[in-house]
Copies of this chain bind each other. A is one copy, B any other.
Amino acid sequence: MAKEITTRAADYSQWYLDVVAAADLAEHAAVKGCMVIKPTGYAIWEMIQGHLDKMFKATGHVNAYFPLFIPESFMKKEAEHVEGFAPECAVVTHGGGKKLDEPLVVRPTSETIIWSAYKNWIQSYRDLPILINQWANVVRWEMRTRLFLRTTEFLWQEGHTAHATAEEAEEETLKILDVYRRFAEEYMAAPVFYGVKTESQRFAGALRTYCIEAMMQDRKALQAGTSHNLGQNFARAFDVTFQNEQGKLELVYATSWGVSTRLIGALIMTHSDDKGLVLPPRLAPIKAVLVPIWKEDSEREMMLAKARALTSGWEESISFKIDDRDQYRPGYKFNEWEKKGVPLRIEMGPKDVEANQVVLVRRDTGEKIAVPQENLLARIEALLEEMQHNLFVRARAFRDANTFHVDRYAELAEQIEKPGGFFWVHWCGSPDCEARFQEEHKATIRLVPIDEEKEEGACIVCGGRSGQRVLVAKSY
């Protein structure tokens, strides 16, 4: 814990790991590729879950739970799906001391096991739609792991819906994309671009994959959520039909969508600084810490009593802490809570008590503000909202300052390597032109916008005709 945090300028990757360690969020487990999410990190996940779960329920979804294990044969029923996921699977071959007749895959995602169940749930259009979400762990074997961003096991939510028409499935896919966009912007204070993936970046088995993409402070993109229109692919693979209103048998339409503990990585890289974690107040498990200051041991009890009196009744409105530890000095405490990303520090020493004031210190700007003790809670709540807004505006300004429209490949080639950023470029739609970004710059088309005004142009690679610009960036 005493270790200094590497600066972003010196080594961005090491900075990220240092912030995770300094804030005590997670660590590598004894099992290769897996992580332990420590209490401070898990509390952030609980905040994310709580808000997202409400948003899902407000849009008509319910939670359920499907098995961890998937018979290997199920994975093989959808050709693209198995091709995409087979290389990442963990496989159970023995159970209860015996070799299994059929190996079981530990779910990398649950389309196949869920559609094998939906087959029995759906007979008529009256059984539709099914709007189910599941909070679960999934496993995708990873060689190169990074805490929160890429681990063999991770936690996520996966929605799996079934619909009677293609239009309804598309509407659901876009509705969830909008939930993800709002969650990113309103809770994570992370501005995102949204759009549709190209064929090469699509979910294995999907008709169309929509996504939200956020910019990290190293100017790379991070895919923060995906919503897939699966068409009738999984219904076909699992033979799930329904009798429509006209009495005809038809294959069911599907969507699936998910966000994961990766969002914690996105949070860290969007807002944190060289002092440690910075959290948007709405996702901060502890919004404020009051650090009472005393010089003489004899003052301690008096100051703690003042601190308790000042915050009496607050617990009904906000989660806060009084740091009453006597083995650490105030400076140590300030530093610790800064590293841990608590949005607001409240300092109160004997002189503040005399002056009937406290000093508020904002984690986002470092600004110190002496304020009267009257109406303190209301002032703090307003300040937290202001900080939430400020973090969003700051992140958006950073993103916009690093997002460019470029039309010459040479210009793209230079800028994408340094300083990096998001690049709106014209693209003709050819996979060959798309492949060039990947091969020459390890960059990808992050998305094709769906709500932007169209603009004709010439493909930045081949000069061919392009109907609109697409977003190119290096990514996590």
Contact = CB atoms under 8 A, between A and B. Distances in A.
Contact of A64 (B36, B63, B90): B36
A29 B62 contact: no
A86 B64 CA distance: 30
A95 to B, nearest CB: 5
A403 interface: no
A62 B34 contact: no
Contact of A63 (B35, B42, B106): B42
A83 to B, nearest CB: 13
A92 B90 contact: yes
A471 interface: no
A93 interface: yes
Contact of A69 (B31, B62, B94, B126): B31
Contacts of A117: 27, 29-30, 36
A150 to B, nearest CB: 13
Contact of A91 (B71, B92, B116, B141): B92
Interface in A76-100: 86-97
A68 B136 CA distance: 11
Interface string A149-166: 000110100000000000
A39 interface: yes
A101 to B, nearest CB: 9
B71 A30 contact: yes
Interface in A104-161: 104, 106, 113, 116-117, 120, 126, 132, 136-137, 139, 141-143, 152-153, 155
A90 B91 CA distance: 10
A42 B27 CA distance: 31
Contacts of A332: none
A141 B117 CA distance: 21
A116 B30 contact: yes
Contacts of A45: 65
Contacts of A95: 89-91, 141, 152
A12 interface: no
A313 to B, nearest CB: 18
Nearest to A29: B67
Interface string A18-36: 0000000001011100111
A385 interface: no
B34 A67 contact: yes
A74 interface: yes
Contacts of A92: 90-93, 106
A276 to B, nearest CB: 20
A37 B155 CA distance: 18
A96 B87 contact: yes
Contacts of A308: none
A371 interface: no
A110 to B, nearest CB: 11
A38 interface: yes
A69 B137 CA distance: 11
A126 B117 CA distance: 50
A88 B36 CA distance: 24
A66 interface: yes
A43 interface: yes
B113 A67 contact: no
Q: Pick the 4 closest A-B CB pairs, nearest first.
A: A96-B141, A34-B67, A39-B62, A37-B65
27 contacts: A27-B117, A27-B120, A29-B66, A30-B71, A31-B69, A31-B71, A34-B67, A34-B69, A37-B64, A38-B64, A39-B132, A41-B64, A42-B62, A42-B63, A46-B63, A67-B153, A69-B139, A69-B153, A86-B97, A89-B94, A89-B95, A90-B96, A91-B92, A91-B95, A93-B93, A94-B103, A106-B106
